[in-house]
Amino acid sequence: MAAAVLIKNLQKSYGDVQAVKDISFTVEPGEIFGLLGPNGAGKTTTIRCLCTLAKPDQGKIEVGGISAIASPKAVRQRLGYVAQEVAIDKVLTGRELLKLQAALYHLPKSMIGDRIEQLIEVLGLQEYADKKTGTYSGGIRKRLDLAAGLLHQPEVLVLDEPTVGLDIESRMVVWQFLQELRAAGTTVLITSHYLQEIDALADRLAIIDRGVVIAEGTPSELKDKLGGDRVTLRIREFTSEEEADQAKHILESLPFVEEVIINSVQGNSLNLIVKSGQSSLSKIEQSLAEVELPTFSLAQSRPSLDDVYLAATGRTIMDAELAAASTRDLKKEQKQQMK
Amino acid sequence: MSQSISSSKIKSALAPNISISRQNSESSNSLGNFIQETLALTKRLFIQLQRRPSTLVAGVIQPFMWLILFGALFSKAPANLFGNDLSYAKFLAPGLIVFAAFSGALNAGLPVMFDREFGFLNRLLVAPLSSRYSIVAASTIYIIALSFIQTAVIVLASAILGAGLPGIVGISAIALIVFLIVLGVTALSLGLAFALPGHIELIAVIFVTNLPLLFASTALAPLSFMAGWLQVIASLNPLTYAIEPIRYIYGHGDWAINSIVMNTPWFGFSFGAVILVLLAFDALVLLAIQPLLRRRFA
């Protein structure tokens, strides 16, 4: 069976900006696949190439074995696309927008009414369908856009940052819905710079940084590959530098501790990487007590996807976001997307 | 959000349906698909018009105001200045019919530009349209319908102001001429909407084109009033080729296809020749915008 989505050695530049340098990944039928990376990593450009909105400079894109470059129309029919910024015509009602969408995908006229009714019901849009979309909240808009993307029963639903700007409740609604969608057999490709989202939803993911894939696998594969557990230790709520240094020396001598980092931003708390499967916490607490250092808080966890990103790039996604935010030319990017 | 729905119902609603895509990519009914998508896109524009009618209202009021103001401006002009038995209202009506249609058509690209800027166009571009020319076709149908409404209002208003009313054949000929000029100008504006970087630039182009083309045509004054160089420009202006035959229809009940309806510094044009010029103008514009559209639609 052909992969639901196959992207191989994708390259795309806008002027002198190389948005995508070399991206390859495969989405299997029926899974939720996540593209994780900070803003500006090349996620949206990749999605635009997949959805035939942009022509790649180089590389292969296939949906269900059909080339997006050679047969864009067939690929458009197989994809549902939910853009990051939902573009809806404010003057139309939700139902009118869905009718337009149905015609654009050439649904048989006999089917259109029932199909729209079905999706309005499944997405809980009954009381909004006949109101103008200009009156919708962000969460309702997103639901309408999900309905529009699914109207033609696509094989793959592509969502670009589906929960950016949504309140927590709407975010949960979208997450739950995507899981129902997977259960029904639709393949889902989702981009996000939001770790928890990918961790909670994705069966498999690719982490993208500066236009290249730096890791691909299931969330637990990637975390296991990194090895060890993460321990966060606070000696006091606000620890002095001397005490933190002292604790660092003691902890580094423990056999199961691999690395200790003092996080000065978080009140000199200590971040440890320890061998997993050990009763590390009690031993840490004990060795601190021996030199009469208190323990304010102590927690052990498996590595997160952020740790995976950190290990590969030397910075956290948050750092990358902040760095990118200061150098991005959003206006220029918007111009490119208008093409 | 869907607690009340049985899961089997959700499953059937959300499951992919390959038969739809197969059926569509294999069906050869691309003309049917083209009509379906064009009608749906046209319907959207008319829903917009119905809920936000200010463009149409302004488009009707503006030529009406021109009619009254210009009429008053030249109300003391010597009798027969604009031709035998030709009141200025009668002289002006054809100019305003064409100018109103022209202005409306020149603005045709604006909604498309806003769709580009707000990302709505992307919604259309990711859809498996049988041809993306349906986007252009829908805008054209919409603008032509608007122009006909405007034209009807101006014809009626000028009749009330004493310009008289052409017969059925005359009205049909006017409709044909309006159609031809609107088609070309709409295509031009839509081409610009895809070529220019944003709505600021498009509005700037509309701004510098609109009134100069009005004054460099015979809408407000006959060729014989103009300086020599302006006569040349006006004789090359497509608007003149739309205005003069309509004016002839207004002035002569007994016009025919071979009546000389327009005199340029070089030679006279019959009604048939003028129609050919307008057709050539349309063909030229449609050819010229091909590369622009193809670049965006490829």
Shortest alpha-carbon distance between residue A78 and chain B (Å): 6
Q: Does B177 touch chain A (CB under 8 A)?
A: no
Q: Where are the domains of chain B?
A: 33-297
A3-7, A187-191, B258-262, range with the lowest pLDDT? B258-262
Global ipTM: 0.85
Q: What is the pLDDT of residues A273-314, one digit of tens each?
A: 888 766 788 888 888 888 888 888 888 888 888 888 877 776
B199 and A CB contact within 8 Å: no
Is B24's Cβ below 8 Å from some Cβ in A? Answer: yes
Please answer whether residues B41 and B138 qualify as being in contact, where contact means their C-beta atoms are separated by less than 8 angstroms. Answer: yes
Say which amino acid occupies A13: S
Chain B residues near residue A185 by CB distance under 8 angstroms: 11, 14-16
> Which of A105, A107, A153 minimises the CB distance to B15?
A153
Cross-chain Cβ contact B25/A87 below 8 Å: no
Q: Which amino acid is at A222?
A: L
Residues forming beta bridges with residue A233, ordered by sequence position? A270, A298
- Is the sign of the CA dihedral A189, A83, A329, B192 positive or negative? positive
Residue burial B208-227, b: 16+ Cβ < 10 Å; e: rest: ebeeebbebbbbbbbbeebe
Provide the residue ranges of all domains of chain A, joining segments of one domain with +: 5-223, 228-302
pLDDT at A328: 65
CA distance B154 to chain A (A): 29
CB-hemisphere CA count at 13 Å for B131?
A: 14
Instruction: Mark A55-69 as b/e (b = at least 16 C-beta within 10 Å).
Output: ebeebebbbbebebe
Q: What is the pLDDT, as a whole number, of residue B3? A: 42
Provide the terminal-to-terminal Cα distance of chain A, rounded to the nearest Å: 34
CATH of domain A5-223: 3.40.50.300
Which one of A130, A153, A172 would you mutate to disrupt binding with B, by most B Cβ within 10 Å of its Cβ?
Answer: A153
- Among A151-165, A176-190, A195-209, B12-26, which stretch is predicted with the lowest mean pLDDT? B12-26
CA-based nearest residue to A235, from A226, A223, A247, A224: A247
**Contacting residues for B40 by C-beta, under 8 A, at least 6 apart:** A99, A100, A102, A103, A104
Q: Do A96 and B47 touch (CB under 8 A)?
A: yes
Task: Give tens-digit pLDDT for B133-150.
Answer: 899 999 999 999 999 999
For residue range B96-133, what is the model confidence (pLDDT) as tens digits?
999 999 999 999 999 999 999 988 999 999 999 998 88
Cβ of B5 within 8 Å of Cβ of A79? The answer is no
Q: Give me B66's structure tokens.
A: 């021109």
Split at pLDDT 50, 70, 90, the class of B24 is: low
User: Which residues of B fall within a CB distance of 8 Å from A85?
Assistant: 119
CATH code at A228-302: 3.30.70.100
Across B78-88, average pLDDT: 68
Report the DSSP pairing between strands A156-160 and A187-192: parallel
The rounded distance, in Å, linking the Cα atoms of A159 and A166 is 14
Exposure class string for A140-164: b at 16+ Cβ within 10 A, else e: bbbbbbbbbbbbbbbbbbbbbbbbb
Residues A83, A130 contacting (CB under 8 angstroms): no
pLDDT tens digits, residue range A232-259? 888 888 888 888 888 888 888 888 888 8
Q: How far apart are the first and last CA of chain B?
A: 40
